[in-house]
Structure 1
Amino acid sequence: MAHRLLKISSLATAVFGCSGFYLYNKQLDLNDLSVVRFGRAAATTAFISYDYLTAFKHVEYGTEEYWTLKSKVHRRSAERLRDLCCANRGTFIKLGQHLGALDYLLPEEYTSTLKVLHSRAPQSSMEEIRQVIREDLGKELSELFVSFEENPQGAASLAQVHKAVLHDGRTVAVKVQHPKVQRQSSKDIMTMEVLMRAVHWLFPDFAFMWLVEESKKNMPLELDFLNEGRNAERVANMLAHFPFLKIPMIHWDLSTKRILTMEFAEGGQVNDRDYMKKHGINVNEISENLGKLYSEMIFVHGFVHCDPHPGNVLIHKSEQSKKTEIVLLDHGLYQVLQPDFRLNYCRLWQALINSDMPEVERYSRKLGAGDLYPLFSCMLTARSWTSVTTGISSVPVTHAEDIEIQTNVSMYLPQISELLNRVPRQMLLLLKTNDLLRSIETTLQTRASSSSFINVSRCCIRAVARCKLKFTTVVWETRDDRALDKHTHVRTHTHTKVLYLAWCRTADRGRACLNKHIL
């Protein structure tokens, strides 16, 4: 205890010393208030660290009193972190949103508290928006648009979106970056890195440097809206065979690194069951189609949209055609999966669906999990180890199991932290994406449906078959997808029948259901 208190004293001295250094330097640039942002972050980190360090001194580990107290400390620490994110805005809100999405990787007290950051993003003033447009496009608003709504359609951590009408009558969405984010982001990430290292020094089991490293890598990409536009066009071409997918068209002549102008898309959020009911939209169909999109992105193409929170996935039903579309927005954050990683990930999911535990261990180890492969399997599937070993495609998800998993997250946080530092960096955004998609399925009450496993299985088989074709001499032209589909059709169709029959048996639906939907 004395040793740790000495560490905190040293840390406090360093914090105030650094603050003074920052303040001295800021005299050279009065427009940059990093000293305030750094001071808030350092103070919050010190308060949280001291709370964890002293709260459990007189409580026996493992008792009911201990776990109750730990939940309270988690909650008030999460609230302090939330308040810091709201105060510092920008990169801090982005980081908080990322943490809030890790439902099955962080204690519930943190995720539930930080989720509110999606609705607490700051807004830039209209004058700031005009200034960014003037600087980047070289014209006034009136020269570019017939009308431009001053109240944004939505505000996020890095930008806000306004509805506007072009001179040719087309309605567009104009995404404008908050003017100070670009300048502050690198300093904010440096602040996070310094403080994360300090916390790890105090608490060696706390190993969340991966979070800072990912932010350092991804933030410049997310702040480049031209990169976002290119991602949007790439995924639109890649998934053009899905008639239900809508990617808004980019207006390149009105886009820069800080401004992205695109076709305006309407719709309700993907987790809004009331909206779907009002417009006669089939919830199960939406869930299945969303699963198809992401299974193909992850397992077949290895190019994955990694921010599918409800505000970025809209549902729209055309009044004329009555066709229901999934509108995918915000293409700033994508993960490119390397071929070897993607193949091992496919093999792992096949093993999980088939309850092939030797293969689960084998491919978990290949993906860096080591002896923590049981925990890794539970994190990937958000299922208990009992369900994983019994078969995730045959054991229904229960509320009791969800509670068990959330409880285990708090108990195994050091192991989870170690695992997240151990696996390839490509895995980190996939885990976040999985959690976001599961959250949507939970809200829609379609989680662990047969269709989700069927889509994953089909895409895994296609991906593995494509890989095998690269290393074998065949008559078919390997670039011809129609030949590939013919090559894999029998395996896919047979596997789908077996998987669906197992699910129908679990749901007590029998052969009639199988004949109706598969044969």
Structure 2
Amino acid sequence: MSRKLLKLGVAASSLGAYTWALRTDHETVNSIGLIRLSRAAYSVFKISVIYRTNLYGTGLDHESDEYLQIKSACHRHGAENLLDLCCKNKGIYIKVGQYVAALDYLLPKEYVETMKVLHSHAPENTLDDVSRVLKEDLGKDIKDLFSSFEEKPLGTASLAQVHKAVLHDGQTVAVKVQHPFIRKNCKTDLKTMEYLVKIVSWVFPEFQFQWVVDETKKNVPIELNFEIEASNATKIAELFKECKWLKVPKVYDDLSTQRVLIMEFVEGGQVNDLKYIKQEKIDPFEISAKLGQLYSKMIFIHGFVHSDPHPGNILVKKTKQGTLELILLDHGIYANLSRKTMVDYANLWLSILDRDRIKMRTYCSNLGISDKVYPIFACMITGRTWDSIMAGLESSKRTKFEKDRMQNEFPKLLPNITEILNQVNPEMLLILKTNDLMRGIESTLKTTARMGAFQVMSECCVKSVYKSRIDDARDRFSKLTNTMAKYWLLFKLNMYYTYLNLRSGRFIFA
């Protein structure tokens, strides 16, 4: 093992020496990728040394308090090094860091907690960088485009940052500007990531994260095209036009390009800003209920799912009428689910809620999951232990003990989880990411025990399954029979959850 680490360290040092030896301006620009590669390789080397030196050679009992304390310290130190790498290399590294922050069922809590800062405090670019992109894409200077432009960004994400501005006609807008070097570094960074993941897998065989690289390679080029984001925003606004509590900011198409997106400016607090929520007297259970309704309809009814619901992309506010409004931002990545995937996933959730192991196995198989790991997959999509699933999710609360147990036990199942992520229908990978982020929001809001979430989701699953059956029915009698079965099942669900609600004294928001 030490020889592997030594080779990695030598490679990192050699790359660094070669990079800084370059002299001409042209060569210096072209060496940026090598600098980033050198920095990334050296960071992986340092993290590997932390574990190898301080943990793996101790000879301590893995269940002892001393070993667990050392292990936690190694996780914290490793996470800090990874965060430093993400902040220095920016771009795609920030995107991966944000994903790490969402994997609370898979990765040690020290990594999850450390990387969460990237959801809303990614490194900023200078005003000169922003101005250059605007000039290149729109052919005008900032003063020609806007009557005022705030230099300090409202927020900075992995691929872009957003500024508040006012157009010359008086309209206040949000200006999303892509980081200037992101496209140039994209291919190099993706190759670097793939290379480093392979090295980590070589040094630590239990860590197999090629699926992260594959998903990033597929999704980043889409996210870098803001015209796709504008189209997604328009589509989701149309799909949910009946939801008066959902706000999707309007896009100014005539002032937007692949690297610049100018939108209607909206105000609100981040969905995880507990101080703001308390100050505005917003009920966190209502926030969770609306989010649950929104995402259940996206997944099970429309098959068009906003797949980056980290806290920086969802705002909340109270309207002048005193009602709650959710504001959905950043529409770069959506999961487009086929009807088959949508129905199989809906059936899987119904079988989980029914505690029906045979059907769970069947629908997991339809989604590409083998029989031997289907219980783990059920735990992954619910964020609950197998014992809790068998006890009934709708009637058992997720306790701190259960959360700690999952964080301690799931890393031990890495080989099985890796097998699942390599097997599962590719459409499901974005859904798993979405589930992770949504659970993180509910955990922050302390609303994970919501019974209403299961009612809304159950109803959407039933509607999805029976819509498919009705559409496939060959005659009117079959259509009528399935329609009646759907409404009868929805009625029974409503009665069941009403009973649970009355028994527990908990209110379910519509």
Task: Bin the TM-score by the shorter chain.
Answer: over 0.9
Q: Does residue 79 in structure 1 map to residue 76 in structure 2?
A: no
Q: Secondary structure in 1 aligned to 2:128?
A: helix
Alignment of 1:339-358 (within 5 A): 339-358=339-358
Amino acid at match of 1:417: T
1:56 aligned partner: 56
TM-score, normalised by the number of residues in structure 1:
0.91
Amino acid at match of 2:387: T
Structure 2: gaps of 5 or more residues: none
2:105 aligned partner: 104
User: Which shifted more, 108-117 or 419-428?
Assistant: 419-428
User: Which shifted more, 53-62 or 369-378?
Assistant: 53-62
Q: Secondary structure in 2 aligned to 1:221?
A: helix
User: Which shifted more, 122-131 or 274-283?
Assistant: 274-283
Please report how far the alpha carbon of residue 420 of structure 1 lies from its aligned counterpart in structure 2 after TM superposition.
2.2
Q: Does residue 165 in structure 1 map to residue 163 in structure 2?
A: no
Alignment of 1:504-515 (within 5 A): 504-505=502-503, 507=504
Q: Does residue 335 in structure 1 map to residue 332 in structure 2?
A: no
Please report how far the alpha carbon of residue 503 of structure 1 lies from its aligned counterpart in structure 2 after TM superposition.
5.1
Give CA-to-partner distance per residue, 1:302-347, whole Å, 9 cap, x none: 111111112111112222x333211100111211122222211111
1:394 aligned partner: 395
Give CA-to-partner distance per residue, 1:189-214, whole Å, 9 cap, x none: 11111111111122222110111111
Please report how far the alpha carbon of residue 78 of structure 1 lies from its aligned counterpart in structure 2 after TM superposition.
1.2
Q: Secondary structure in 1 aligned to 2:261?
A: strand
2:2 aligned partner: 5
RMSD: 2.6
Aligned length: 505
1:496 aligned partner: 494
Amino acid at match of 1:455: V
Change (3 A) 1:112 1:26: farther
1:407 aligned partner: 408
Alignment of 1:472-491 (within 5 A): 472-475=473-476, 488-491=486-489
Q: Give the distance between the partners of 1:225 and 1:96, measured in 2 at CA.
A: 22
User: Which shifted more, 287-296 or 330-339?
Assistant: 330-339
Is the 2:251–2:263 contact (alpha carbons within 8 Å) kept by the matching residues of 1?
Answer: yes
Is the 2:98–2:115 contact (alpha carbons within 8 Å) kept by the matching residues of 1?
Answer: yes
Please report how far the alpha carbon of residue 379 of structure 1 lies from its aligned counterpart in structure 2 after TM superposition.
1.5
Q: Give the distance between the partners of 2:136 and 2:80, measured in 1 at CA.
A: 38
Please report how far the alpha carbon of residue 58 of structure 1 lies from its aligned counterpart in structure 2 after TM superposition.
3.3
Q: Secondary structure in 2 aligned to 1:29?
A: helix
Q: Does residue 454 in structure 1 map to residue 455 in structure 2?
A: yes
Is the 1:160–1:176 contact (alpha carbons within 8 Å) kept by the matching residues of 2?
Answer: yes
User: Which shifted more, 24-33 or 104-113?
Assistant: 24-33
Please report how far the alpha carbon of residue 245 of structure 1 lies from its aligned counterpart in structure 2 after TM superposition.
0.7
Q: Secondary structure in 2 aligned to 1:31?
A: helix
Q: Give the distance between the partners of 2:328 and 2:474, measured in 1 at CA.
A: 39
Is the 1:89–1:122 contact (alpha carbons within 8 Å) kept by the matching residues of 2?
Answer: yes
1:42 aligned partner: 41
User: Which shifted more, 226-235 or 390-399?
Assistant: 390-399
User: Which shifted more, 149-158 or 28-37?
Assistant: 28-37
User: Which shifted more, 7-16 or 161-170?
Assistant: 7-16
Please report how far the alpha carbon of residue 61 of structure 1 lies from its aligned counterpart in structure 2 after TM superposition.
5.1
Please report how far the alpha carbon of residue 248 of structure 1 lies from its aligned counterpart in structure 2 after TM superposition.
0.4
Give CA-to-partner distance per residue, 1:90-145, whole Å, 9 cap, x none: 11111111111111121111101111122431211112211111110011222222
Alignment of 1:289-438 (within 5 A): 289-319=290-320, 321-370=321-370, 371-438=372-439
Is the 2:469–2:482 contact (alpha carbons within 8 Å) kept by the matching residues of 1?
Answer: no
User: Which shifted more, 439-448 or 485-494?
Assistant: 485-494
Q: Give the distance between the partners of 1:188 and 1:162, measured in 2 at CA.
A: 26
Give CA-to-partner distance per residue, 1:122-171, whole Å, 9 cap, x none: 21111221111111001122222221111211111211111111222211
2:29 aligned partner: 31
TM-score, normalised by the number of residues in structure 2:
0.92
Give CA-to-partner distance per residue, 1:246-287, whole Å, 9 cap, x none: 100000011001100010011111123332333333332221
Is the 1:208–1:421 contact (alpha carbons within 8 Å) kept by the matching residues of 2?
Answer: no
Percentage of pairs with the same residue: 42
2:220 aligned partner: 219
Is the 1:394–1:503 contact (alpha carbons within 8 Å) kept by the matching residues of 2?
Answer: no
Q: Give the distance between the partners of 1:48 and 1:424, measured in 2 at CA.
A: 32
Change (3 A) 1:488 1:63: closer
Q: Give the distance between the partners of 1:306 and 1:187, measured in 2 at CA.
A: 25
Q: Give the distance between the partners of 2:255 and 2:109, measured in 1 at CA.
A: 42
Is the 2:442–2:448 contact (alpha carbons within 8 Å) kept by the matching residues of 1?
Answer: yes
Q: Does residue 147 in structure 1 map to residue 148 in structure 2?
A: yes
Q: Give the distance between the partners of 1:26 and 1:117, measured in 2 at CA.
A: 34
